[in-house]
Chain A
Amino acid sequence: MKRYSAFAIAREATRYHSGWERAWRAPEPKTKYDAIIIGAGGHGLATAYYLGKNFGITNVAIIEKGWLGGGNTGRNTTIIRSNYLQDPSAAIYEKSRFLYETMSQDLNYNVMFSPRGVIMLAQTHHEVRGYQRTAHANALQGVPTEWINPQRVKELCPIINLEGPRYPVLGGLWQARGGTARHDAVAWGYARACSDMGMDVIQQCEVTNIRREGGKVVGVDTTKGAIDCDKLGIVVAGHSGDLANMAGFRLPLESVALQALVSEPIKPAMDVVIMANTVHGYLSQSDKGEMVIGGGTDGYNNYTQRGSFHHVEETVRALNETFPMLSRLKMLRQWGGIVDVTGDRSPILSKTPVDGVFINCGWGTGGFKAIPGSGWAMAELMAKGHSPLTDEFGMERFIEGRFIDESVAAGVAH
């Protein structure tokens, strides 16, 4: 792999950029791999990357029905934070946030991780207490967060209206090292690195069957033929139910639409990410200058990647109140994704009833921020059979009644 750098660009500029090679190869599938990952989104690619990097397992294929990074990886609002309440969540999201810090250097690909800071606004006394609780937990979990007063919120985000007529800002939970990254670049960077390790990223290849023998996985059938494997990771977000069916087990999941929108680009107006859970909206400004806006999920099962406009109205209305200048901007584009939500709204990273099959799903609305941590943990689970980061996220927790419920502090977990 040719390394990317300013010097490489200067060199290529002299020869009209004719020397740039493919960012990732476009191979045909081999007949057998040590491990196959189904799903070349951020989580799947990261899983493969850490299988190679941390465990030396490089005879790996990442199989993708569409185009790599084409699902939720490329359609989220790119928020990265780890100020979660419960121990297992804080552990995996902080691992993830930590890995984001050096991702550009690790991958030799600028993913534009921007640790600009994240504020979770508190607009009711209940929220104040919830976030103070989270701040205490975070301190013990090794997640640096801080409770800040309204004046500090205003200093960090001058466009905020502290004195909203309904829900005045009472303070916030501040994670200075949270932020955003360029979502597509995360998938592309991992794909390039995986390809460079000799792994095969196989796009436009749909899995049609998961072959088992004696309770153990032996391979998959795909639209590009049968491929054998010893281990199989299913990392397909909203499509997990289909794949689980093929492998013969069920999941505690429902798939719903989550919508987002951006404004037209403007000059820098906001240097932090703000999440306002009472009024249900979140906001940041991309490097291009667009105000990036997200809200809640639609209530019904939906695979269309479209949502209902009244959710957009509710979100925009709430944010217009909280950030009055938004009212004079225009919505450029709205879109939707399919999020898979579990019974406790926390993810599943787990062994399955089928020996050799592992599943990573259920990230709901919070998947992007977890990509590197999830990949790291999933790789360890697949390579070693367990990982301290995934132990609490097993599927068996639903039968045991051992939930990881993040909604207790913040109402919703994005």
Chain B
Amino acid sequence: MLILNCPCCGVTAEETEFHAGGEAHLKRFGPDSSNEDFENYMFMRQNPKGVHLERWRHNNGCGKWFHAARCTMTLEVFGTYSAQTYEPPKEICDLISAKRPGWSWGAFS
């Protein structure tokens, strides 16, 4: 039973207040994209054993989406951050690097 902090309203709450929304930082591909790009965007997932950047919605709270950096092996939450961004904030990356040296997520590390 996870505890998450919603960076939008500041509330720290039980998992039951939130809805998990899968992998974060997916780049949307529209009508002019290649088959491969579209398939990657729609279906291919990193599904790592370790650091996972993911989307959550505070659906039984403020209703806002946000991102979380979480470990899928220990369920440790390294931090949550705004969904209105293309990359995780530096302080969260640094924290992850301190705890999981050598981690990477696509272009981020």
Q: What total of chain B residues lie within 8 Å of the partner, measured CB to CB?
A: 28
Interface residues of A (CB under 8 A from B): 241-242, 250-255, 298-304, 308-310, 342-343, 398-399
| Chain B contacts for A241, CB-based, 8 A | 45-49
Residue of A nearest to B43 (CB): A252
| Chain A contacts for B2, CB-based, 8 A | 300, 308
Interface residues of B (CB under 8 A from A): 1-2, 15-16, 19-20, 22-23, 35-36, 38-40, 42-49, 52, 54, 70, 72-75
| Chain B contacts for A254, CB-based, 8 A | 22-23, 45, 47
Cβ contact of A255, chosen from B1, B15, B47, B74, cutoff 8 A? B47
Cβ contact of B19, chosen from A251, A252, A299, A304, cutoff 8 A? A299
- When chains A and B are docked, how far (Å) is the Cα of A301 from the Cα of B47? 7
Give the Cβ gap from B13 to chain A, nearest Cβ, in Å: 13
In the complex, the answer to whether B49 meets A398 with C-beta atoms within 8 Å is no
- When chains A and B are docked, how far (Å) is the Cα of A300 from the Cα of B23? 9
Offer 22 A-B interface pairs, CB within 8 angstroms, sorted by A. A241-B45, A241-B46, A241-B48, A251-B44, A251-B45, A252-B44, A252-B45, A253-B47, A254-B22, A254-B23, A298-B20, A299-B20, A300-B2, A300-B54, A301-B52, A303-B49, A304-B74, A304-B75, A308-B1, A308-B2, A310-B1, A398-B43
- When chains A and B are docked, how far (Å) is the Cα of A203 from the Cα of B75? 28
- When chains A and B are docked, how far (Å) is the Cα of A226 from the Cα of B34? 39
Give the Cβ gap from A328 to chain B, nearest Cβ, in Å: 26
| Chain B contacts for A255, CB-based, 8 A | 47, 72
Residue of A nearest to B75 (CB): A304
| Chain B contacts for A398, CB-based, 8 A | 39, 42-43
Question: Between A and B, how many residue pairs show CB distances below 8 Å?
Answer: 60
Given A304-B75, A343-B43, A399-B35, check contact A242 B15 (CB 8 Å): no
- When chains A and B are docked, how far (Å) is the Cα of A399 from the Cα of B1? 35
| Chain A contacts for B54, CB-based, 8 A | 300-301
- When chains A and B are docked, how far (Å) is the Cα of A250 from the Cα of B72? 18
In the complex, the answer to whether B72 meets A301 with C-beta atoms within 8 Å is yes
- When chains A and B are docked, how far (Å) is the Cα of A123 from the Cα of B106? 45
Q: Is chain A's interface secondary structure helix, strand, loop, or mixed overall?
A: mixed
Give the Cβ gap from A300 to chain B, nearest Cβ, in Å: 4
Add 13 more A-B contacts to A254-B23, A254-B45, A299-B19 (CB < 8 A).
A242-B49, A252-B39, A252-B45, A255-B72, A301-B52, A301-B54, A302-B72, A303-B72, A303-B73, A304-B72, A304-B74, A310-B1, A398-B39
Give the Cβ gap from B95 to chain A, nearest Cβ, in Å: 19
| Chain B contacts for A300, CB-based, 8 A | 2, 20, 54, 70
| Chain A contacts for B1, CB-based, 8 A | 308-310
- When chains A and B are docked, how far (Å) is the Cα of A134 from the Cα of B43? 27
6 tightest A-B contacts by CB?
A252-B43, A299-B20, A300-B20, A343-B43, A241-B47, A308-B1
Cβ contact of B15, chosen from A251, A303, A308, A343, cutoff 8 A? A308
Cβ contact of B39, chosen from A242, A301, A399, cutoff 8 A? A399
- When chains A and B are docked, how far (Å) is the Cα of A198 from the Cα of B65? 55
- When chains A and B are docked, how far (Å) is the Cα of A236 from the Cα of B52? 21
Cβ contact of A250, chosen from B23, B38, B44, B74, cutoff 8 A? B44
Residue of B nearest to A255 (CB): B47
- When chains A and B are docked, how far (Å) is the Cα of A241 from the Cα of B73? 14
- When chains A and B are docked, how far (Å) is the Cα of A250 from the Cα of B39? 11
- When chains A and B are docked, how far (Å) is the Cα of A47 from the Cα of B1? 37
Cβ contact of A310, chosen from B15, B49, B75, cutoff 8 A? B15
Residue of A nearest to B44 (CB): A250
| Chain B contacts for A250, CB-based, 8 A | 40, 44
- When chains A and B are docked, how far (Å) is the Cα of A143 from the Cα of B24? 41
- When chains A and B are docked, how far (Å) is the Cα of A399 from the Cα of B40? 9
Give the Cβ gap from A245 to chain B, nearest Cβ, in Å: 9
Give the Cβ gap from A395 to chain B, nearest Cβ, in Å: 10
Instruction: Find the residue from A250, A255, A301, A304 having the highest chain B CB count within 10 A.
Output: A301
- When chains A and B are docked, how far (Å) is the Cα of A308 from the Cα of B4? 14
- When chains A and B are docked, how far (Å) is the Cα of A241 from the Cα of B63? 32
- When chains A and B are docked, how far (Å) is the Cα of A398 from the Cα of B35? 10
- When chains A and B are docked, how far (Å) is the Cα of A251 from the Cα of B47? 9
- When chains A and B are docked, how far (Å) is the Cα of A346 from the Cα of B38? 20
| Chain A contacts for B35, CB-based, 8 A | 399
- When chains A and B are docked, how far (Å) is the Cα of A308 from the Cα of B52? 18
Instruction: Find the residue from A242, A343, A399 having the highest chain B CB count within 10 A.
Output: A399
